[in-house]
Amino acid sequence: MTAMAYEVKLDQFEGPLDLLLHLVHKNEMDIQDIRIATITAQYLEHLAMMKARNMDVASEFLVMAATLLYLKSRTLLPPSRAELEDEEGQDPEEELKARLLEYQRYKEGAQQLEEYPRLFRDVFPRPPLEPEAEERGAGVLDAQINISVYDLVHALDKVLRPKSDPKVHRVEAGAISITQGVHMLLRHLRGKERVSFQRCFSAATTRLEVVVQFMALLELARLQLLEVQQHTRGGMIYLYPAQSLRKGRYTDIEHMIDVEDYADL
């Protein structure tokens, strides 16, 4: 037996079918005319090699080993009656060949896919110019996409993520009211036609501030002092303050906010 003749990098096999296919090609066999005895012997040697190198042999490899041994035994022994009844015409050897052929097809498909010119590897488009230009096709607005509250929550999640509280030392967190949140938000909005969702939270330093400010945002939207728009799916979310806000007339907002609702915060 050419025991180590087919030594290959062990980790290169994606599974039992991959190994089997490799052995078939190695022995220059046709899948249709597999010599089960030869393949089984080599397959088991390979498993032994994997074990000898303290590699975990995945259970799938063992299942295949059992299948191969079973097929080999079938070639040696006449089938029992129970087996004949069991199989109902389905030859397990044909089944294995079919699986191998099918696997080979997709492997070839994967190779073809691998060779395709791939974006950012072989071909390149124009990169986005600046973060703000993330809004696709700036200037020409798509038909507006209605965004749900989940999109807002998702965007909030993005803002929250980098703001995990620093762990250096603990300082008693001062409570912030929604009203304060509104004021923080207004500072960003004043005099501007629109502000990106991200930018609104740039000054917030703790999770609590972000949360409060987000609630303030929802509150202002509820009062229709603020419009929230997203122009493309997955694009930037923008806040458009109402006329009165833009001009800085917001002294009476505090009265409109239902602070009671958030007393527990």
Partner 1 sequence: MQISDLKARVEAVLFSSDTALSMAKLEQILEVDTQQLRVALQQLQHECHQEGRGVVLQEVAGGFQLRTRPEYAPWVMQLRRTRHMNLSRAATETLAIIAYRQPVTRAEIEGLRGVDSGGIVRTLLEKNLARVAGKKDAPGRPLMYATSAGFLEIFGLNSLEDLPTLRDLKTDELDFTHEVELEMDFESEKRE
* Contacting residues toward partner 1, per CB under 8 A: 12, 14-18, 32, 58, 60, 64, 94-95, 97-99, 101-103, 105-110, 112-114, 116-129, 133, 136-137, 140, 142
Q: Are 223 and 258 in contact (CB under 8 A)?
A: no
With respect to partner 1, which residue has the nearer C-beta, 2 or 112?
A: 112
With respect to partner 1, which residue has the nearer C-beta, 236 or 253?
A: 236
With respect to partner 1, which residue has the nearer C-beta, 15 or 166?
A: 15
- Cβ at position 60, least distance to partner 1 in Å: 5
Q: Are 35 and 75 in contact (CB under 8 A)?
A: no
- Cβ at position 62, least distance to partner 1 in Å: 12
- Cβ at position 208, least distance to partner 1 in Å: 30
- Cβ at position 59, least distance to partner 1 in Å: 9
With respect to partner 1, which residue has the nearer C-beta, 129 or 168?
A: 129
| Residues in a beta bridge with 237 | 230
- Cβ at position 137, least distance to partner 1 in Å: 6
Can you tell me which residue has the tokens 């220059």?
A: 28
Q: Are 6 and 23 in contact (CB under 8 A)?
A: yes
With respect to partner 1, which residue has the nearer C-beta, 18 or 45?
A: 18
Cα separation values, 154 from 34, 131, 217, 228, 252, Å:
54, 19, 15, 14, 31
Q: At what angle do helices 16-26 and 92-115 cross, to 10 degrees?
A: 90
- Cβ at position 154, least distance to partner 1 in Å: 15
DSSP 173-233: PPP--HHHHHHHHHHHHTT-S-EEHHHHTTT--SHHHHHHHHHHHHHHHHTTSEEEEESST
DSSP 84-128: HHHHTT--HHHHHHHHHHHHHHHHHHHHHHHHS--BTTTB--PPP
- Cβ at position 130, least distance to partner 1 in Å: 10
With respect to partner 1, which residue has the nearer C-beta, 103 or 238?
A: 103
With respect to partner 1, which residue has the nearer C-beta, 40 or 213?
A: 40
**Whole-angstrom Cα distance, residue 26 to residue 16?**
15
